[in-house]
Amino acid sequence: MIGRLKYASLAVMTVAAAVSTLDMIRGRRVDAVRAVFASPSRMGRDQLLANWERHRGNEQTTLAAATPPEALALAALWIDQAAASPPPLQKRALAYADTLLAEVQHDRPQAPGASLLKVRTDLVRYGQPGRSTVAAFARSYDQAGFLRDEGMWRLAFAAIYWRALPDRTRTAAVNEAVWLARVDGRQRIAVEQLVAGTPLALPVAFRLIS
């Protein structure tokens, strides 16, 4: 009886440790996700918002004419604000981001940044990715297989939501991880830390030693 209790206690402790480790890994990747899409500088934010307010007040000016090339930066700003706001303000900020992203996707349908910001918008709005979120994420790889600035964000997303990704997108994520590690030796450690303990770890490790 004592032996059974001992093994049961060990099993509970093991599960608890595994959950704690998973939470830590997820937290690290969420931090990475936030860091990659950092907001513009304070001066940049002020200028973007000033442009936004000025053109919003001019009914004769369309967003398509007013916002590029800073549309994606402004959309990222509204998404950041939405993530830190209570529901009523969050809804408004996400609506602004949706409008900007729609304009970019209309004018530049192959822009991977717009697809990735669509993913971020869904995560803020729903908390978890849906089918359209995964489709947007996969589409970003079709638009650009390797992204130096947003690559770590994509790896973080792939590591967390691996099971939801189609095989082709999983392969693309592994390819990008290897590319990021090789294109900048200083970034290799960051890549290895990001994928550690995830389904990305083994295929990335094998590719890096081959």
Joined together, the tokens standing for residue 103 give: 């304009």
Mark whether 43 and 19 lie in a shared domain: no
| Average pLDDT for 58-73 | 54
Q: What is the pLDDT of residue 68?
A: 53
For the stretch 109-122, pLDDT in tens is: 888 888 999 999 99
Which of 144, 161, 182 is the last residue in one of the domains? 144
Indicate whether 34 pLDDT > 60.
Answer: no
Mark whether 87 and 25 lie in a shared domain: no
Cα–Cα distance measured from residue 142 to residue 114, given in angstroms and rounded to the nearest whole number: 13
Mark whether 68 and 122 lie in a shared domain: yes
Mark whether 47 and 25 lie in a shared domain: no
- Residue 59: which pLDDT band, with cuts at 50, 70 and 90? very low
| Average pLDDT for 196-206 | 95
For the stretch 158-175, pLDDT in tens is: 999 999 999 999 999 999
Q: Which domain holds residue 8?
A: 1-36+145-210
Whether the CB-CB separation of 67 and 89 falls below 8 Å is answered with: no
Which of 144, 167, 197 is the last residue in one of the domains? 144
Indicate whether 44 pLDDT > 70.
Answer: no
Which of 144, 167, 183 is the last residue in one of the domains? 144
Mark whether 47 and 134 lie in a shared domain: yes
Indicate whether 199 pLDDT > 60.
Answer: yes
Indicate whether 33 pLDDT > 70.
Answer: no
Mark whether 44 and 116 lie in a shared domain: yes
Within the chain, where are the H helices? 2-36, 42-56, 63-66, 71-83, 87-107, 112-126, 131-143, 151-160, 167-183, 185-195, 201-209
What is the biggest distance separating any 2 CA atoms in the chain, rounded to whole angstroms?
80
Mark whether 155 and 115 lie in a shared domain: no
For the stretch 82-107, pLDDT in tens is: 999 998 899 999 999 999 899 888 88
Q: What is the pLDDT of residue 6?
A: 40
Q: Any residues with CB less than 8 A from the CB of 208 and at least 6 apart, and which?
A: 178, 181, 182, 188
Mark whether 112 and 98 lie in a shared domain: yes
